[in-house]
Amino acid sequence: MGFFDLFKKKKVEPQVAPDATAEDIAKEQERIEVEAEKEAEAERKELEAGLEKTKEGFFGKLRRAVAGRTTVDADVLDDLEELLITSDVGVDTTVKIIERIEQRVARDKYINTEELQYILRDEIAQLMEESHRSTEDFGIEVKEGMPYVLMVVGVNGAGKTTTIGKLAAQLTKAGRKVYIGAADTFRAAAIDQLAVWADRAGATMVRQDMGSDPASVAYDTLRSAVANGADVVLIDTAGRLHNKVGLMKELTKIRNVMAKVIPDAPHEVMLVLDGSTGQNAFEQAKQFTEATQVTSLTITKLDGTAKGGVVIGISDRFNIPVRYIGIGEGIDQLKMFDRKEFVRAMFGDAK
Ligand SMILES: Nc1nc2c(ncn2[C@@H]2O[C@H](COP(=O)(O)OP(=O)(O)O)[C@@H](O)[C@H]2O)c(=O)[nH]1
Ligand SMILES: [Mg+2]
């Protein structure tokens, strides 16, 4: 079973009396569908609210850039290029987007500036569709009866512990047995912070004293998780980027030790990036992908920043799927990343 199946919400089955008529069952089915649609709508609203600052920043600048101009000409494209770069989309991805729009303008002369928003939306959606593997793709299969092991990496302050806490809560809510390994042993406060999250989530945390060997904590956690029939193991790590060789050594050691307990562990290595750092997040992604094999990304703190364009650039630049985005400090504010919903929340519905 892959992580995606593990995570999936359980399907709600109609609750009807044994003597229910076909009509009763149909009614119940309809009620479930209405509930699901309401929930989806609430999720969309929350995502839009979380991306509000990025959206406002971007469209505010876009409006100013095209003010007083009617058609999309070379000057407008220059301004758009600058706007995308300053919105933290990144240079490479911006160039790709601009090239696409140029081709479109060449094909379809006299596009007016009002249409620019829709064109941008289409081109960015298309780009994300092409460059970004689907959410269902990641996480390797887990052997029956073995827990799925997810190791979380990233610099200090990126949001690793918070993300683990939120994720643990979602998983336990979905009925999974979750073990958390406190392998960030660098600061005592980090272990205590994780313990608070584990407690809130109803997960079991395995810890040792501050300063102990992270690999040893990871080992203990896996042993204990296997012995107790856990479904998922989440391993927190320290984010010391002292130097790449040091980081590489530490992460490799943790991985090797885990593989002694479960041969194909870790099944997933998730890099957590602070979206509000913009270009810095690109740099961190580069460093970590060079230090260890990273299989998924989570981009946090998108709620507090206008730098959300970073999601577009990072998913284009690194061929690693974005699995989650963080849009607040609350336990429910970690959302599975859906590129279609993301583009929709940013740019509105397709025309
Ligand atoms: N606004 C906001 N804050 C976040 C988000 N994710 C994490 N944080 C905050 O970022 C800070 C650092 O998070 P932490 O999980 O301790 O980072 P770590 O050092 O990587 O483990 C904390 O104050 C978190 O509450 C998010 O999605 N939105
Ligand atoms: Mg931490």
pTM of the predicted model as reported, rounded to 2 decimal places? 0.90
CB 300 within 8 A of CB 163: yes
Q: Is the CB of 332 under 6 A from ligand 1?
A: no
pLDDT at 110: 73
CB 234 within 8 A of CB 164: yes
pLDDT at 10: 62
Query: What are the tokens at 276?
Result: 């509000």
Q: Is the CB of 165 under 6 A from ligand 1?
A: no
Cα angle value 18/20/23 (rounded, 5°): 155
pLDDT at 184: 93
> Does residue 266 have a cis peptide bond before it, meaning omega lies within 30 degrees of 0?
yes
Distance CA 237, CA 269 (A): 11
Instruction: List the shell of residues around ion ligand 2, using CB closer than 5 Å.
Output: 160-161, 190
pLDDT at 319: 82
pLDDT at 61: 83
pLDDT at 1: 56
Amino acid occupying residue 262: I
pLDDT at 14: 74
Nearest to 297 by CA among 325, 329, 334: 325
Paired residues of 1 in beta bridges = none
Amino acid occupying residue 1: M
Over the chain (351 residues), what is each successive 10-residue block's mean pLDDT?
62 78 89 91 92 86 80 87 88 91 84 81 83 54 83 95 96 93 91 96 95 95 97 91 81 95 93 93 92 93 90 87 93 90 82 63
Distance CA 301, CA 154 (A): 14
List of residues 6+ apart from 57 with CB closer than 8 A: 87, 306
Ligand 1: which of 53, 152, 322, 329 to mutate, judged by most atoms within 8 Å of the beta carbon? Answer: 329
pLDDT at 243: 78
Q: Is the CB of 328 under 6 A from ligand 1?
A: yes
Query: What are the tokens at 274?
Result: 């602070």
DSSP states of 69-120 as a string? --B--HHHHHHHHHHHHHTT--HHHHHHHHHHHHHHHHHS---BGGGHHHHH
Counting DSSP H helices and E strands in the chain, the numbers are 13, 8
